[in-house]
Amino acid sequence: MSEQRTYLRFPLARRIEHVAMLLSFGLLALTGLPQKFPTWWISQALVGLFGGIETTRLIHHGAAVVLMLGTIWHILVASYKMYVERTPLSMLPILKDGKDAWQAFSYNLGMAKSRPQMGRFGFEEKLEYWAFVWGAIVMGMTGFMMWNPISTAQFFPGQVIPAAKAAHGAEAILAVLAIIIWHFYGVHLKLFNKAMWTGRMSEEEMLHEHPLELADIKAGLVSQTVDPALKRKRQMVFFPIAALLALVMLAGVYGFINIESTVVTEIPPVRTVNIFDPQTPTPLPTVPPTPTAEAVAPGALTWDAYASPVFKAKCATCHGAAKVGGFSLQTYADALAGGNNGPVITPGDSAGSPLIVIQTAGGHSGQLSADELAKIKEWIDAGAPEK
Amino acid sequence: MSKKYDNSGRSHAGVMILIMLGFVLALGAWFSLAGIGDAMAAPAALPAAQNETPDEVCLGCHTQPGLTIEMSNGDILPLTITEQDFVASVHGENDVTCVSCHTTISEFPHPEKTADSHRDFSLENYTTCKQCHEEQYIKTLDSVHQKALAGGNTNAAVCTDCHNPHTQPRLTDPESGELTQEARVHIPETCARCHSSIYKMYQTTVHGSALTGEGNPDVPTCIDCHGVHNIADPTTNEFRLASPVEMCGKCHTDEEKMLKYGISTNVLNTYVGDFHGTTVIFEQQSPDQETNKPVCFDCHGVHDIKSVDDPQSGIAIKENLLIKCARCHGDGIPAGFTDSWTSHYTPSAKDYPLVYFVNVFYLLLIPLVLGGMVIFVISDIVRRIIDRRKKGATH
């Protein structure tokens, strides 16, 4: 079979636009939907794959900016075609589209003889295009509100923001599922339509999909050129206005991104609290401190200077407040008072003092060293002076 | 926009999936370990005694009132034990002997004390607890107290600061192993020994006043949030990020508990469904990274949690909530900004009607549009199959 004649359907610029939309839409969906379902494992996996929630949001915002710029470009191109080239408004929905849709459905149900004959854009394509326009408006507006909630709350009640969030998420689900059901079926499953990639359609495809456009092309109605002089005149009007419009729209995008820094990047100051402040008095069991003794001359062989410190260190555990055997060495008076079995220290008579007898025998729980014992002996023999 | 996280190393998808898997496993393990209910079951058997000095020998001296020793820094170490108190304690009940813990003392005179102060004495001796309570001791090694101690803060609590081994009553029900209500009521008092101003604050809160005032068994004590033995540092991001689910969510999603007080159990879901909560749920993937998103306690308070209807600070009152929002979003925010958070309400015709009607709109629009598309697509598929068969038949 000889090579079929093909017709240009999408010039390169349209195809690039489509790829840009496809990529940004896809990225928006992949980075956005997990945020709607944060507890799902697939959401966790996707966000992890993107490198964490902050990066995911950065990608989402970046893709949104690409989509916004694409939309601006599309508006400018469409305006040029409408005003300068006076291209027929083939994307505008007309009554015929409703009739076509009904006829197509009736045919599927076996209630119509044939499929509808359609022009450059059929009802399926128009539905998709205008759904995208609706989606872009809703997502753009609600996205702005979430991106700039404080500015939004200056002009609207605060609950507009959660409402925007609800709409953004629901619209996302609608858009993604509509693409899967309508677009995937219409151009991938029903027949694999490569026109958006190759830019061209075969005569046979045209005959099936766009017979009315094919007829127009054959009748020479489509590629009518505009008179160059008239075209230049229109361009002179169009370009300044379009430039201004483009500037305004770009300023809008800039504002969209920069109007406020709601995304708080600083870590708010930590509230500090006094962590360690023990209760007073301390709940630990302590005994009242003993009053500190008056300063004494060191080295003197007296109760204050020598005997008392030695007794405190070696004997006070039992013969202190505990008074084991009724005997205490806490004060001078206690020491001389003796215990249950009478005096323990007999001043002037170390050999007759039970303290020396017991200590010399050895094996007592609190045992004085030989040196200490000798000195205590000396102290008793000296009359056991207090000061 | 925050760009502070460096993700340059995460480019390879395969590696990422492995990391993700590992992460999910680690997360699971972490959650199970972070369980703060801690069985305090006593050890099955006492360790074999190396030292069999009977208690009577010790008590011969140590029941004398006023028995003390003066430490080299002047601290007085009391040495008297009240026999009745010890017998009534959980150790006394279980026939733990003096030398079970005081393992170094087997004869008289006792070995010289090496500690210079009362505190040093505790620090030298508390590890004796691990002989029987090894599980709890190992947990304390991960605690904020042990870390402070290792860092040189000798005030940091050790076993005996919370549990006086001579008088500690039984804390758990012997059958269930659960803390008794009697024990729960006294937990904050134990922590108050060192954290007294936090305790004073806690007593005024919706939880604390119910515990100390009414002995309410449902409200959290210190350990329900901070854990016991392995008390984690509450200032880490890890603690923050886990808190909504692991801490507050534990009780506040419990139907049975919340029904008594007429509190919604939907608070966690509504939090997770909103911007802050969604972010926190994702940030749990990398708990060590800094976060600035609020969790429950940023709005409701840390130790000063009041009823949301409290006239002074309750955040059901928008003026009070605005102060909380302003902490992060700045003082310039308009008053209406508070309504950008639906205050844990599920939107309805009465509460947050705009959100509700948006939801209703899409609840109708989505099935309508998609349903229409599906019906058309199915009819088209069926028609094409029929047409193809017919074509095949006529050929």
Would the CB atoms of B195 and A284 count as touching at under 8 Å? no
The pLDDT value recorded for residue A242 is 95
Range of the domain at B104: 40-131
B318 and B368 share one domain? no
Query: Is B35 a member of any domain?
Result: no
Q: Does A275 touch chain B (CB under 8 A)?
A: yes
B361 and B303 share one domain? no
A214 and A330 share one domain? no
Q: pLDDT at residue A283 above 60?
A: no
Checking DSSP bridges between strand B68-70 and strand B76-78, what pairing results, if any? antiparallel
**Where is pLDDT greater, at B146 or B64?**
B146
Q: Does A341 touch chain B (CB under 8 A)?
A: no
A233 and A308 share one domain? no
A225 and A139 share one domain? yes
Would the CB atoms of A105 and B64 count as touching at under 8 Å? no
Confidence band for B128, pLDDT divided at 50, 70 and 90: very high
Q: pLDDT at residue A130 above 50?
A: yes
> Residue range A316-344: average pLDDT?
83
Residue A180 DSSP symbol: I
Mention every residue, 6+ apart, whose C-beta is less than 8 A from residue B218: B210, B251, B257, B260, B261
Secondary structure element (H or E) that encloses residue A97, with its range: helix A95-108
Query: Is A298 a member of any domain?
Result: no
Q: How far apart are CA A262 and CA B89, in angstroms?
A: 58
Q: Does A292 touch chain B (CB under 8 A)?
A: no
Would the CB atoms of A104 and B380 count as touching at under 8 Å? yes
Would the CB atoms of B382 and A270 count as touching at under 8 Å? no
Residue B229: strand, helix, or coil: coil
Secondary structure element (H or E) that encloses residue B68, with its range: strand B68-70
E strands, chain A, are 6-8, 200-202
Confidence band for B1, pLDDT divided at 50, 70 and 90: very low
A209 and A350 share one domain? no
Secondary structure element (H or E) that encloses residue B70, with its range: strand B68-70
In this structure, what CATH number is given to the domain that contains residue A69? 1.20.950.20
Which spans in B126-252 are helix H? 134-140, 144-150, 159-162, 181-192, 196-203, 206-214, 222-226, 237-242, 249-252
The pLDDT value recorded for residue A326 is 84
**Beta carbons of B287 and B232 less than 8 angstroms apart:** no
Query: Is A38 a member of any domain?
Result: yes
The pLDDT value recorded for residue B42 is 54
Q: How far is B183 from chain A (nearest CA, A)?
A: 18
The pLDDT value recorded for residue A266 is 65
A253 and A311 share one domain? no
Nearest residue in chain B measured CA to CA from A41: B24
Query: Is A133 a member of any domain?
Result: yes
Query: Is B138 a member of any domain?
Result: no
A310 and A227 share one domain? no
A252 and A320 share one domain? no
Q: pLDDT at residue B9 above 70?
A: no
Residues of chain B with C-beta less than 8 angstroms from the C-beta of A171: 362
Residue after which a domain boundary falls, among B131, B161, B195: B131
Quick: pLDDT tens for A270-282. 677 788 888 876 5
Quick: pLDDT tens for A157-196. 999 999 999 999 999 999 999 999 999 998 888 888 888 9
**Where is pLDDT greater, at A19 or B39?**
A19
Q: Does A283 touch chain B (CB under 8 A)?
A: yes
Query: Is B19 a member of any domain?
Result: no
Range scoring the smallest mean pLDDT among A105-119, A129-143, A216-230, B170-184 = A216-230
Range scoring the smallest mean pLDDT among A166-170, A319-323, A354-358, B334-338 = A319-323
B361 and B264 share one domain? no
Quick: pLDDT tens for B73-85. 888 888 888 888 8
The pLDDT value recorded for residue B146 is 95
Could you report the predicted ipTM of this complex, rounded to two decimals? 0.76
**Beta carbons of B230 and B140 less than 8 angstroms apart:** yes
Query: Is A63 a member of any domain?
Result: yes
Checking DSSP bridges between strand A200-202 and strand A6-8, what pairing results, if any? antiparallel
**What is the residue-averaged pLDDT of chain B?**
84
Query: Is B85 a member of any domain?
Result: yes
Residue after which a domain boundary falls, among B75, B105, B131: B131
Query: Is A223 a member of any domain?
Result: yes
Query: Is B285 a member of any domain?
Result: yes
Query: Is B209 a member of any domain?
Result: no
A318 and A248 share one domain? no
Residues of chain A with C-beta less than 8 angstroms from the C-beta of B382: 108
> Residue range A331-336: average pLDDT?
87
Quick: pLDDT tens for A186-242. 888 888 888 899 988 888 888 888 888 888 888 877 766 778 888 899 999 999 999
Query: Is A227 a member of any domain?
Result: yes
Instruction: Choose from A34-38, A199-203, B177-181 the range with maximum mean pLDDT.
Output: A34-38
Q: Does B197 touch chain A (CB under 8 A)?
A: yes
**Where is pLDDT greater, at B162 or A280?**
B162
Least CB-CB distance to B354: which of A160, A190, A263? A160
Range of the domain at A348: 303-381
**Where is pLDDT greater, at B309 or B370?**
B370
If contacts are CB pairs under 8 Å, which of residues 333-372 in chain B contact chain A? 333-334, 336-342, 347, 352, 354-355, 358-359, 361-362, 365-366, 369-370
Secondary structure element (H or E) that encloses residue B76, with its range: strand B76-78
Quick: pLDDT tens for B192-242. 999 999 999 999 999 999 998 888 989 999 999 999 999 999 988 889 898
What token pair was written down for B204?
């005024």
- Name the pTM for this structure: 0.77
Long-range contacts of A69-72 (CB under 8 A, 24+ apart): A69/A253, A70/A17, A70/A20, A70/A21, A70/A24, A71/A136, A71/A140, A72/A246, A72/A249, A72/A250, A72/A253
If contacts are CB pairs under 8 Å, which of residues 43-102 in chain A contact chain B? 44-45, 47-49, 51-58, 61, 101
Quick: pLDDT tens for A47-59. 999 999 989 999 9
Query: Is A274 a member of any domain?
Result: no
A347 and A239 share one domain? no
A24 and A90 share one domain? yes
Total tally of structural domains belonging to chain A: 2
Residues of chain B with C-beta less than 8 angstroms from the C-beta of A149: 337, 340
| Polymer length in residues for chain A | 387
If contacts are CB pairs under 8 Å, which of residues 60-79 in chain B contact chain A? 61, 64-70, 74-76, 78-79
**Beta carbons of A103 and A61 less than 8 angstroms apart:** no
Query: Is B192 a member of any domain?
Result: no
Would the CB atoms of B362 and A171 count as touching at under 8 Å? yes
Q: Does B297 touch chain A (CB under 8 A)?
A: no
Least CB-CB distance to B285: which of A52, A166, A171? A52
B265 and B328 share one domain? yes
Q: Does A208 touch chain B (CB under 8 A)?
A: no
B331 and B239 share one domain? yes
Q: Does A363 touch chain B (CB under 8 A)?
A: no
Residues of chain A with C-beta less than 8 angstroms from the C-beta of B338: 158
Residue after which a domain boundary falls, among B77, B106, B131: B131
Q: pLDDT at residue A297 above 60?
A: no
Confidence band for A100, pLDDT divided at 50, 70 and 90: very high
The pLDDT value recorded for residue A43 is 95
* Residue of B79, B271, B340, B344 to mutate, interface with A, max A Cβ within 10 Å: B340
Least CB-CB distance to A52: which of B278, B281, B286? B286
A241 and A309 share one domain? no
Q: How far apart are CA A305 and CA A290, in angstroms?
A: 17
B53 and B87 share one domain? yes
Total tally of structural domains belonging to chain B: 3
Quick: pLDDT tens for B17-72. 555 555 555 544 444 444 433 444 455 455 555 667 888 888 888 888 778 888 88
Q: Does A362 touch chain B (CB under 8 A)?
A: no
B336 and B371 share one domain? no
B44 and B126 share one domain? yes
Q: Does A180 touch chain B (CB under 8 A)?
A: no
Would the CB atoms of B278 and A52 count as touching at under 8 Å? no
The pLDDT value recorded for residue A287 is 41
Residues of chain B with C-beta less than 8 angstroms from the C-beta of A262: 329
Residue after which a domain boundary falls, among A194, A225, A258: A258
Query: Is A181 a member of any domain?
Result: yes
B286 and B377 share one domain? no
